Amino acid sequence: MPLLVDYWVVDDFGKVINPMVVEGQVHGGIVQGIGQALLEHSLYDAETGQLITGSFMDYAMPRASDVPYIHFQANEFPPKSNPFGLKGCGEAGTVGALAAVMNAVIDALRDYGVTDIQMPATPEKLWRLIQAGKRAA
């Protein structure tokens, strides 16, 4: 079951030369953002400084099964600042995903008194916030 129910994105990249590559770039960035917002967390031993999450057995990265269908649309508004009307697209998915996912998490937990949460919003962290909110109510 995906971590998210649905995901919609609309971006402006100017004149899109290769739509498939642009959509792939955006999808990859979105998945990276979802991972940073909900899963990925480096942990170090407090005494030795040794990395505890040094393998993919311990460090959670998003997998295809964690991600919902991504509804993608590109609107073309070519800038006049270059002769080809092009803009970059490499980081677009990541930038929007962090804010979108974390705001959705906070919105979902509002009834439990949650107004802020630090990334990553791991399952354990969310469970603890929900339990604390239930006790406070």
pLDDT digits (tens, 9 = 90+) for 64-96: 998 999 999 999 999 999 999 988 887 889 989
The model's confidence at residue 56, banded by pLDDT at 50, 70 and 90, is: confident
Gap between the Cα atoms of 52 and 64, Å rounded: 25
Q: Is 25 exposed, middle or buried (0-12, 13-18, 19+ CB in 10 A)?
A: buried
Residue 2, pLDDT score:
74
Confidence of residue 137 (pLDDT cuts 50, 70, 90): confident
pTM of the model: 0.86
Q: pLDDT tens digits for 115-135?
A: 999 999 998 999 999 999 999
Q: Residues with Cβ < 8 Å from 13, sequence gap 6 or more? A: 22, 74, 76, 86, 87, 88, 89, 92
Q: What CATH class does 7-136 carry? A: alpha beta
Tokens standing for 3? 């971590």
Helix (H, G, I), strand (E, B) or coil at 63: coil
Q: What is the H or E stretch that residue 32 is in?
A: helix 19-38
d(CA 1, CA 6): 12
- Please confirm whether the linkage preceding 120 is cis (ω < 30° from 0): yes
Instruction: Provide the pLDDT for residue 27.
Output: 95
pLDDT at 90: 79
Query: Residue 58: its pLDDT value, please?
Result: 87
How does the average pLDDT of the chain come out, rounded? 92
- Chain position carrying tokens 């959509």: 23
Q: What is the pLDDT of residues 3-51, one digit of tens each?
A: 889 999 999 999 999 999 999 999 999 999 999 999 999 999 999 999 9
